Amino acid sequence: MKIEIIKGDITKIHADAIVNAANSSLLGGGGVDGAIHRAGGPKILEECRAIRNRQGKCKTGEAVMTTAGNLPAKYVIHTVGPVWNDDKEKGSKLLSDCYKHCLKLAEDLKVKIIAFPNISTGIYKFPKELAGEIAVNEVRKFQSDIIEKVIFVCFDEENEEIYKKLLKPFKHQ
């Protein structure tokens, strides 16, 4: 699986699936979540409401899928990252679960290219270095014959530099 880093806006990424750092309500919010809902249009919200009616809120670490509305992707995989509360062990496990569930769902959907934002590092205050380590580790250990490329879409330079540093040892593999 190829791994790429892009600094930019995840709503503009051409991929089979983009990941939304959602909140448990699935009804939109700030940051990446709000941007995806705004750019994707009302279809995403309509599908999120249907999911909520079927299963209730989305639990932290879990993932659900909608179509991508007006976005240049086929699917949006919504995952609820943990809010940082200084419990490194619990937070790390929940964030790991986000990546595992997203990748598994992407594989089930036959996704070849998936794009991830920096889950939980915005308003949820998860330490960026630790979040980056978890993201890279989970993607690197996920074995897939279907997913060909993972794109880490970094909103800011700080995250971009963290991911570049984390992926540097694997550059020539």
pTM, whole model, 2 decimals?
A: 0.96
pLDDT at 170 over 80: no
pLDDT tens per residue across span 109-146: 999 999 999 999 999 999 999 999 999 999 999 999 99
Query: What percentage of the chain has pLDDT greater than the value 70?
Result: 98
Residues 151, 1: contact at Cβ < 8 Å?
A: no
- Per DSSP, the three-state class of 23 is coil
The Cα 65–Cα 123 span in angstroms is 22
- Per DSSP, the three-state class of 19 is strand
pLDDT at 172 over 60: no
pLDDT at 96 over 70: yes
If pLDDT is split at 50, 70 and 90, which confidence band does 171 have?
low
* Domains, the chain, ordered by start: 2-168 (3.40.220.10)
Which region among 7-16, 23-32, 98-107 has the lowest average model confidence (pLDDT)? 23-32
- Per DSSP, the three-state class of 11 is helix
> Which residues are catalytically annotated?
33
Average pLDDT of the chain is 95
